[in-house]
Structures are given as C-alpha cells and as structure tokens.
Chains A and B, each alone.
Chain A
Amino acid sequence: MNCKKVEKLILRAFDGRLTEDEKKELEAHLKQCPQCRTTQEEYQLILDTLRKEDFPEPKPYFLERLQPKLREVKKYEPWMVWKQWGMRAIPVSLLVIIFLSATLILFSPPREEVELSQAFSQSGLLLLQNQNLFQETTTLLETGGTEDKNMMVIFTSIDDKNGTRRDF
C-alpha cells in the first residue's frame, strides 16, 4: 500500500470509518513506515487541538436583546415583504405588458380594409382596384338602339340617385 492511500486511511480512522481489514492494513503499514507515523501524529495533534477548542459564551441577555429587535423588524414586515417580492414583480410585470402588447398588435383584426371601404367612394375604390371608371357608360354606348341607350341612361341615373348600382 502506498503512503498516499495510507494518509486517506489515517484520516478516515479518526472518524471511525475503517473496516476491520483496513484497520489491519493501516496498522501493518504504520509499523514499517516512520514517515506515515509522523503524518498520523501530526493529524492527531491538529485534531486534538481543534476538538479541545473552547468557546466564549454569547454576550449576556441574548434573548432580552433579541426580542426588541424582532419587534422592530416586525413593524417593517409589510415593507420587507414588498421589498422581497415587489422588486421581483417589476421585471415580470414589464414582460407581461410587452407580451400583451405584442399579442394585440399581431392578432388585431385587419382594420385598414374596413376603413378603406368606408373612406372611399365607389369610384375611388374602382380606381384603387385599377378598374375602368367608365365601364357602365362604355357598355351603354356599345349596346344596340338609340332608344334603348336613352332608356338605360335614364335608369342608370335613377339608380345612382337611389344609391344602387347596376352591372352590365
């Protein structure tokens, strides 16, 4: 067994975490290795000193000093809760606002088309749709007799006044 592994065993032995076989192995190695014996003695000295550590007492009236502090902090508890959660809520709220705005923009109805049909006259729409404004007149002029043409012109003008349209 090499000395590095033995150091591990020495340390585990202090915690009582060695198996019987490991204990025997360690003892056998320590008998014939002065360097590892020194290592063991040094660790023993360090751990003994640590375990013998004495602690001072807490300062007197520990509880009596604590109680007024608790009451003081209690007074500000709502503010503390706000400080803890409210501050975190700000970025979350901002994200929600951004998300809602984006949703409204993306999924709102196509209002432009509605507005166009209301904003423009029929002639204007025909122009926008790149259609011939004089379609009706041309059709009338291309039809047969003069009397028919006159009658159609009269009907068309009456229809225009009534707000209806006749397609030929």
Chain B
Amino acid sequence: MEEKDLVRSSKEGNEEAFASLVKKYRVKVFNLAFSLTRDRDTADDLAQEVFIKAYFALPRFELRSEFGTWLYRITINHVRDFLRKTSRMKRLSIDEIKESSIPQEDETMKREKEQTEERRKKILRRAIQILPDKHQVILSLRDIQGLSYEEITKILRISPGTVDSRLHRARKLLRKKLAPFLSQKGGNHELQEG
C-alpha cells in the first residue's frame, strides 16, 4: 500500500495502516528527537508521544503536504515544548564543557583515535545544546539529519532565504562556541585531529 493510502486508512481509524506508518517513521522521529535532546530514554518517550499526537491529529491532516514533513513538524514542536518545560536543566554551560573536557596532557598522549573522535562528538553535542532553539533545529535538520533545503522550508514553513541565513548564523555560532577547542594558539586541541 502506498503512503497516501496508508495515511487515508489511518485517518479512517485503521490501526494496522497507522502501525505501518509508525514502522516507517519511528527511527526518523526518534533520531530527530535524539539530536535535540541527546538522551536515548527522553528521545524514545518523545517519539512515542509524537505518534500519539499524530494519530489524534490525523483527522485534521489534509494531505496537502507529505506525511513525513507533517510528522517532522509535530516532532520539532513537541521537542521544543519539552525543552521549554524542562527549562533545559540538563544543559551545561560552555565553561562546564571546557572543565569536563580538558584532559591531562599525559593521558591525551595515550588516547587512541577512536576515543578522540568520541570526545570530539561529545564536545560538539554539548556546544549545540547551548545554542538557541531555532539554531539547534536547523543544524539538526540540515547537518545531522541531512535533509534538503526544500524539505526544511516545508517543515519549518520558512523561505529558502531564511533557511540559508539561519543555517549560516547557526554554523557561525557553533564555530564561535567551539573556538577554544579549535584554536591552534595556546588552546587545547580537542577538535583537531588527534
């Protein structure tokens, strides 16, 4: 059955059709929630809630856009609400990132490439988490999920020009936050090849 047929059947209350849609999109929804929350349990809970919301909102979905686009929109709004409610208590400031990430010199020498890579990702994740919401979302959609400009304009309902400028700003901000780790003069070299 094609996706549009699955959506139509789901709108009429067919649970099996909706289950097929869940199977198709569960990983995508989970990944998007994970890229914004960085916590597997939270992302899993949020993904479940997104599908519950989508199921009850289906009667109002008019098939004007792709189901996936619509579902991504619900996910982003739901995760944003969650982040607002929790006031980002788990967020760390950039200072904390520095503190927790600066390794002892002799230890650094011993670390292998894999560990360096893992550390680098950790620093990046934390730096992303202290960016404003809209910048986190655009980085997640474009640079982590790899969605096209066209898809992003539909999901966020913004013009291609706005996608361009917002993405540009988000990447610049991220680089600024990571400056201490990227600096080659006197700073530590966490993000440089180890």
Contact = CB atoms under 8 A, between A and B. Distances in A.
Interface of A: 7-8, 11-12, 15, 17, 38, 42-43, 45-47, 49-53, 55-59, 62-63, 65-67, 69-70, 73, 77, 80
Interface string B35-51: 10000110110011001
Contacts of B12: none
B78 to A, nearest CB: 15
Contact of B19 (A45, A67, A69): A67
B56 A46 contact: no
Contacts of B191: 42, 45-46, 49
A60 B63 CA distance: 30
A56 B30 CA distance: 9
Contacts of B52: 66, 69-70, 73
Interface of B: 15, 19, 22-23, 26-27, 30-31, 34-35, 40-41, 43-44, 47-48, 51-52, 55-56, 117, 120-121, 124, 139, 142-144, 146, 149, 164, 167-168, 171-172, 174-175, 178, 182, 184, 191-193
B121 A58 contact: no
A46 B120 CA distance: 9
Contacts of A62: 22, 26, 30, 44, 47-48
B167 A63 contact: no
A80 B57 CA distance: 12
A7 B171 CA distance: 11
Contacts of B55: 70
A55 B43 CA distance: 11
Contact of B175 (A17, A42, A65, A77): A42
Contacts of A50: 124, 139, 143-144
A69 B192 CA distance: 46
Given A12-B164, A67-B19, A46 B144 contact: no
Contacts of A46: 124, 171, 174-175, 178, 191
Contacts of A65: 48
Nearest to B43: A58
Given A42-B178, A46-B178, A63-B19, 8 more contacts: A45-B192, A51-B144, A55-B30, A56-B34, A58-B30, A62-B22, A62-B26, A67-B19
A53 B55 CA distance: 30
A15 B192 CA distance: 23
Nearest to A10: B171
Given A15-B149, A50-B143, A63-B22, A55 B34 contact: yes
